[in-house]
Structure formats: structure tokens, C-alpha cells
Amino acid sequence: MITLKSTSTIVPSKPTPSGTLWLSESDQRMQWTHAPLICIYKTTGNNNEKTTTLETLKDSLSRTLVPYYPLAGRLHWIHGGRLELHCNAKGAQVLEAYSEAKLDDLGDFAPTEAIEDLVPKVDYGSPIEDWPLLLVQVTRFSCGGLCVGTAMSHTMADGWSAANFFNAWAKVARGNELEENEIPFHDRTILRSPEPLMPPRFDHIEFTKPPLLIGHTDAKEVQKKKSCVTLLKVTREQVERLKKKANEIPYQDTEMVSTRPYSRYETIASHLWRCICKARAGNISQPTRVYTMLEFRSRLKPPPPLRYFGNAVLQTVTSNCVHGDLLAKPLSFGAGKLREAIERMTDEYIRSALDFIASQENVIPLRSSFHIRAYTETPNFLGNPNVYIGCWINLPFYGIDYGWGKPIYVGPGLLNDDGKAFIMSSPAADGSLVIALRLQTDYMDSFKKFFYEDICYGNGM
């Protein structure tokens, strides 16, 4: 049970630039809802001093919003389902909350309903120009532990930008000043497509409709199925065992650009994909895809500035596979399909995708359904028979220290679609991983059984 104590609006501590900020096609591609994140901190003497803790966070946030002034603005709808940002310093929202529970009562912090209560709620029924782009809920537990739950508009930032902001805020909260190379870069026009727009140079399958279950003409029935969440823990030894299996039996039925060993992400995502398909027990001819978001800063030529603040991500997708191939062929088959999807995203392909988005009269159909399902119906549901597997492995969330130590857990505060997963580094920072997954309840027990059994005994892996 969460009790809200207070709500405050935090504006930048100094005057900031005003006016309209153009949003890139990558920004427009993202959902306009907020990405929920929880950072859990253990009991310390400092965070028991509730007044000092909350005031420090508010004051430091006010100062951090000066260089990060777009987060204090408001979005406005314009033509074709697009958005623009009004930099008007209306501020972020900070909520103070208290729970009689202890951190131990929350278990492993899987994004259940109890965890969702730790993330501030946005009133999506109100006009978009009234929505804060950043909301923070500081929840204090009876044991002295803290949760800093945040909701940041996904139109404003991708994972890297969000992580840079939270680490900058934490640095200011510790009493330090941001250095010049830590100041964000806000000119998103560097991603603007030149005029006149060039026609797409590739077959952008990431914008095509996902496969449906055989025998279905839409996903309405599937969307109604009950689902649940779990948090999977994979040790460093298990990760290495899977990587070895993926790389010792190469599968060459792919047009891979490179032959480097499969990464942790490619390996674990392939294992997840095949185990989900195995648990769903579909027709062996059932088509399926994996979707993910790819951060493209280093892939552009020239790359954007190091501290570019915004979305520099695009969705990529595997080609259609069938259940039978994923289950019968070695682990490298799925890893190879993921590799193809990732290596497809060259500078030329990315710019072609941005041109494609820019050419659309209405961008709403292009927005990823995985960020909006909890709030509205979506025609492009990506669940069964498909999978979304996000990668947070390299995001520096465990450096977010507001002055009472580093978090003991960082993860999504909401996981809202069947077949949606995030692969994350574990708090131990020892090469082990944590995976947050939502799956239809009917399949979860079978999936977990296959997931761990197949790490050790998987056939053909």
C-alpha cells in the first residue's frame, strides 16, 4: 500500500532557452507515453532523514533541468500525428510517497502490480500539453530503503539519453558540478532528412505488419489472454555456456556481414526466442519475428555529438522464421537471424529509414505498439507469435548514486505486453544477467522449465 504525501512541480533554477524544439523522425517513431524505471536503494542512515533526502533531490533536479531544459517543456500535437516540443519551463513533477512494507516484501522486483505502484502515474486522459515530460516518485519504505521511480516521455529520450540524464542529476545531488563534456546537445536537426526527400533505398521490413497466429485474421483474441511477469537470473557461467554452444555449431544459412562470435545479447535473445516458441507450442509452420530497438549513434557517418540528447534508436526486426526451424536447428540459427537484423542497420539503411518516416503523411501507424498497450488499443500488437527483446546490458544505470550509494536494483517499472522482455546487467556486475519478461500465463511455467533446462541440456544447441 503506497501513501502519497506530497506533489511538487520542479522548474529549472535559472532562466532557460524558450521556443519550439524540432523533434527528429526517430523521436516521432517512439510512443508518446512515458518509459517507467525503478531504482531501488538499500537502507542507510542518510536516506532515513526524509526531509533532507527529498529536498536534496528537488534542489538538484531544479539545477539539472537547466542544461536539460527540454525535459521541463511540454509536447504539442501538430500535423500527421507528429509532435513538437515547446520549451516553456513548466517543469517536472516530484511525488513523495511512503509504504509500510519493507524492501524484502517486494521479492525480486519483477514488474508486478506492486512495482507499478512505485512509478508515478500520468493522466493520459488530459491534453498532452499538460503532461510533465518527467515525473519522479520517491517512495520510502518502513525499513529505510528507497525507490526512485521515474517516468520519462519516450518521445524525449532513448535509454542512453535517459541514463546520461539520471547520472547527471545524481552527480549534482552529490554536490558536484557538471563538466563541459557532460552538458547535453539538444539540436536534433542534425538527424533531419535533406530536402527533397529521397525515396527509400531498402525494403524496410521493420515497418511491415508482424505475423499473426495461423488461422487468425487479427490479434484481438490473443490480446485478451491473461499474462504475467517474471524475472530470470542467468549466471556468468550460464551465459558463457550458451555463448559456447551458439558459437561452436555455426549456422550459415544467413547473409551475415561479419563472422565475429555471437554476443551475449544475440545468444541470450536467441535462447529466449526459441524457448518462448517452444512453450507456446505452435504449429511448426508458424511464422515468428523478434523485434528490438537498436541505438545507432556509432553507426551514423558522421556520428552525432557524444552527449546528443534525444532518440537515436530505430526498431529492427528479424526476417520471418518458423517455429520448426528455431526448435530443430542449432542456437546459432536464431542468433544469426538476430545478427542479420542488427547488421542491416548501416548508415545508409538508417538514413533511408528516417527518410521513410519523414515521407509519411501520418506517423501514428509506425509507432511501436510495445510502449502503449497499457493505455490504449493498438492494431499492430507484437505479442504471440512474436517477441520483443530489448537490450539494457550496457546502459550505465548502476552508476546512479544520489548520495546514499549505488542502487541494488534497476529495472522496468512496467512490462505491458505478452512476449516483451528486457535483457539487463545484474547488480553484481560480474557478467551475470537479469531478464524481465511478460508472457501469457498459460505458457509461463513451461517457458521457465525450458529456459533453464535447455541451458544445460538443450538439444542441437
Question: pLDDT tens-digit profile of 286-301?
Answer: 999 999 999 999 999 9
Q: For residues 216 and 299, state if they share a domain.
A: yes
Q: How far is CA 41 from CA 139, 358, 410, in A?
A: 10, 42, 9
Residue type for 388, please?
Y
Domain boundary, last residue among 191, 221, 240: 191
pLDDT for 372: 38
Reading the block at residue 193, the C-alpha cell is 532528412
Shared-domain flag, residues 171 and 212: no
Q: Is the CA virtual torsion 323, 329, 331, 332 positive or negative?
A: negative
Could you tell me the three cell numbers for 406? 549505488
Question: In a 10 Å sphere around its CB, with 0-12 CB exposed, 13-18 middle and 19+ buried, how is residue 361 labelled?
Answer: exposed
Residues of the chain falling short of pLDDT 70: 44-51, 251-258, 368-381, 457-461
Q: If phi over 0 gives left and psi between -120 and 50 gives alpha, with beta otherwise, what is residue 429?
A: left
Check whether residue 447 and residue 365 sit in a common domain.
yes
Q: Quick check: is 232 in a domain?
A: yes
Looking at the domain assignment, is residue 198 inside a domain? no
Rounded Cα gap, residues 399 and 395, in angstroms? 10
Return d(Cα 334, Cα 326) in angstroms, integer.
6
Cα torsion through 351, 354, 358, 359, rounded to 10: 70
| Distance separating alpha carbons of residues 3 and 278, to the nearest angstrom | 42
Query: Same domain, yes or no, for 144 and 220?
Result: no
197 domain residue, yes or no: no
Residue ending a domain, choose from 157, 191, 225: 191
Q: Are residues 295 and 250 in the same domain?
A: yes
**Is there a single domain that holds both residue 267 and residue 119?**
no
Full domain range(s) for residue 212 = 205-402+414-457
- Does a structural domain hold residue 63? yes
Residue 454 confidence (pLDDT): 85
Distance from C-alpha of 358 to C-alpha of 193, rounded to nearest angstrom: 7
Nearest to 28 by CA among 381, 354, 417: 354
Distance between CA 201 and CA 354 in Å, rounded?
A: 11
Residues forming the active site: 154, 401
Residues 45 and 169 in one domain: yes
pLDDT value, residue 44: 64
- Best CA proximity match to 222, nearest among 275, 292, 291, 288: 288
Do 312 and 253 share a structural domain?
yes
Which pLDDT does position 370 carry in this prediction? 43
Cell of 224: 485478451
Number of independent structural domains in the chain: 2
Determine, yes or no, domain membership for 199. no
* Paired residues of 99 in beta bridges: 2, 141
- Let me know: does 384 contact 351? Beta carbons within 8 Å: no
Q: What is residue 59's predicted lDDT score, i.e. its pLDDT?
A: 98
CATH number at residue 88: 3.30.559.10
Q: Distance (Å, rounded) from C-alpha 378 to C-alpha 368?
A: 9
Residue 381: per-residue pLDDT: 63
Residue 351, C-beta contacts closer than 8 angstroms, at least 6 positions apart: 193, 300
37 lies in a domain?
yes
**pLDDT of res. 43:** 74
40 and 173 share one domain: yes
Beta strands across the sheet bearing 19-21:
19-21, 83-87, 74-77
pLDDT at 49: 55
Question: Residue 421: which residues within 8 A CB-CB, separation 6 or more?
Answer: 272, 387, 388, 389, 390, 415, 435, 436, 437, 438
Claim to verify: residue 87 and residue 228 sit in the same structural domain: no
**How many helical (H) and strand (E) elements, i.e. helices and strands, does the chain have?**
11, 17
DSSP string, 220-257: HHHHTS-EEEEEEEE-HHHHHHHHHHHHHS----S--S
Do 297 and 323 fall within a single domain?
yes
Listed residues 161, 191, 221: the one ending a domain: 191
In a domain, 116, yes or no: yes
- Give which of 366, 369, 392, 394 is closest to 382, Cα–Cα: 369
Residue 240 within any structural domain of the chain: yes
Q: 227 and 182, same structural domain? A: no
